[in-house]
Amino acid sequence: MTALRLALMQYPVERPDSVASWGAKLDRWLAEARDQGAGLAMLPEYACVELGSALAGRAPAGEAEELAAMVEAAPRILDRMREAAMAAGLWLLPGTLPQRDADGAVRNRAPLIAPDGRLAFQDKHAMTRFEAERWGVTAGAPPRVFDTPWGRIGISICYDSEFPDHVRAQVEAGAWLILAPSCTDTPHGFNRVRVSAAARALENQCFVAVSPTVGEAPWSAALDRNRGRAAVLGPIDRGFPEDGVIAEGVPDRPQWLLADLDPARIATVRREGAVFNHRDWPAGRFPAATPAAFA
C-alpha cells in the first residue's frame, strides 16, 4: 500500500445562499487540496448545515426549521458532494449530512465518496445532548470500515470518537486510519474530541485525524459558534513524535492541514514498538468491577 497525503479542513462556516453557491465554495477548497497533492480530503461534521438558514428562508431560522430544511434538501446536497469529489478527482469525506430514513428517523450520516462517484456511509452512533434533546437525531448503524487505495480506514464522527469501543471495532476490522469529522462550539468540546482522538491513536497504535468547523455564524441555530483545529494523532512510540502529534493546525483559522501518512509505519510499530497496545487490548474486555474488600 502506498502512503496517503491527507487533507483536513478547518472549515469556515459562512452564509451561502443556495446549494449551488455552497457547491462552488466546496469546489474552490477541493481544488486547493488537489493542487497540494492530496489524495483524500475531509471536511468536518455538519459543515453543510451552514446552508440551513438560507434553505429555511430566514435567518436565524429556528432549530426545527433549520433541520427540516436540511433534511428536505439532503438528496440535492449529497448529489453536489459527489459532483465535487468527481470534479476534483479526490476521495472525499465531505462532513456529515442529516438524512431521514424509511423509518422516519433522522440520522447524522457521513458519506465517503470515491473519485468515480461511488459512495458508502458511516452513521453517527452516539448522540450529543443537542442532537438528542433539541434536534431529535437518532443513533445510526454500528461501525463500518472502508476499503481505499491506501488500505482500510474507519470513520468515527465527533462524539463517537470519545468511546473506545467504536474505534476499536474498526481497528479490529483492519483500519489503520480513523477519520473523525467534528463540530464543537467551545474549547471544552473541541478538547474532548482532541484528547479522545489521541487516546484512540495510542491504545490502537493507529492514526486518528480530526477536522473541525471554525468561525461565528449567528444566523445558524446549529453552527452559531465553532471552535477547534485540525490534527493528526499517532502512536506515542518509536518512530513517531514524543507527544504523538503528527500535524496540527492553527486554532480557529480556516485552512487545509496536510499530512503524509504511511500504513507501513503502523504495521511496524504494532510489530516492533516499545509496547503493544494494539495487541494487548483485553480479549473479551473486563467484566463489571466489583467492590474491593478492605482488611
In a domain? residue 264: yes
What pLDDT does residue 290 have? 64
Cell match 503502523: residue?
Answer: 266
Q: Please state the pTM of the whole predicted model.
A: 0.96
In a domain? residue 62: yes
In a domain? residue 286: no
In a domain? residue 19: yes
Q: What is the C-alpha to C-alpha distance for residues 168 and 57, in angstroms, rounded to an integer?
A: 42
In a domain? residue 14: yes
What pLDDT does residue 188 have? 97
Q: What is the C-alpha to C-alpha distance for residues 229 and 214, in angstroms, rounded to an integer?
A: 8
Q: Could you say which residues of the chain have pLDDT below 50?
A: none
The DSSP letter of residue 123 is E
CB under 8 Å to 193, separation ≥6 — which residues? 158, 159, 161, 162, 180, 182, 184, 210, 212, 228
What pLDDT does residue 293 have? 78
What pLDDT does residue 59 have? 80
Are 160 and 126 within 8 A, CB to CB? yes
Are 175 and 153 within 8 A, CB to CB? yes
Are 157 and 110 within 8 A, CB to CB? yes
Query: Can you spell out the DSSP letters for 64-113?
Result: HHHHHHHHHHHHHHHHHHHHHHHHHT-EEEE--EEEE-TTS-EEEEEEEE
The DSSP letter of residue 287 is P
- The CATH number for 232's domain is 3.60.110.10
In a domain? residue 260: yes
In a domain? residue 277: no
What pLDDT does residue 208 have? 98
Q: What is the C-alpha to C-alpha distance for residues 219 and 17, in angstroms, rounded to an integer?
A: 12
Helix (H) or strand (E) holding 6, with range, is strand 4-12
Domain count within the chain? 1
What pLDDT does residue 162 have? 97
Which bin fits 128, alpha (ψ -120 to 50), beta or left (φ > 0)? beta
In a domain? residue 185: yes
Q: Which of 182, 160, 155, 159 is nearest to 171 (CA)?
A: 155
For 35, the domain range is 4-272
For the segment 251-275, what is each residue's pLDDT rounded down to a tens digit?
A: 999 999 999 999 999 999 999 999 9
Are 238 and 197 within 8 A, CB to CB? no
What pLDDT does residue 289 have? 67
* Mode of pairing for the β-strands spanning 119-123 and 231-233: unpaired
CB under 8 Å to 231, separation ≥6 — which residues? 8, 194, 197, 209, 210, 245, 246, 247, 248, 249, 257
What pLDDT does residue 2 have? 85
Cell of residue 224, nine digits: 452559531
For the segment 148-202, what is each residue's pLDDT rounded down to a tens digit?
A: 999 999 999 999 999 999 999 999 999 999 999 999 999 999 999 999 999 999 9
What pLDDT does residue 291 have? 72
Sign of torsion over alpha carbons 17, 12, 209, 86: positive
Q: What is the C-alpha to C-alpha distance for residues 49 and 43, in angstroms, rounded to an integer?
A: 12
For residue 60, say if its preceding peptide bond is cis, omega within 30 degrees of 0: yes
